Amino acid sequence: MRDLIGIARLLYRTWRAANTGDSRLPELVAVGKDLQTALTIAKASRPGTRRQRQAWVLAEQATHRLGSLLDAYVAVKPLIASAFTTVDESAQPTEQETKRLARRARS
């Protein structure tokens, strides 16, 4: 469910940046909220309980609604660009990454 929530957030950020009046945004917000609610319920429920089944059904319905917002013509490039804008490119590499880059430069 976390992956689906991430996809919904990415779609929202991308579509909103392209057109703040995009008619899909309210439904996308509702889908994201339902996925988050399902995740919260699932975390608080034990396997096999009625609450866990409710979370599962809510997540399945939200996933179906998310899929109905998408089609084969949703451009991937703006989604990828939006994802990369959230990455802090100014961050310093880890020690392990620095060593890997040094090895690559020597070879």
CA 61, chain centre distance (Å): 17
pTM strictly above 0.95: no
3-state secondary structure of 45: coil
| Residue 23 CB neighbours (<10 A) | 8
74-94 tens-digit pLDDT: 777 777 776 666 655 555 667
Query: What residues contact 15, with CB distance under 8 A and at least 6 apart?
Result: 22, 24, 25, 28
pLDDT tens for residues 11-46?
999 899 989 999 999 999 999 999 999 999 999 999
pLDDT digit string, tens, across residues 51-66? 999 999 999 999 999 9
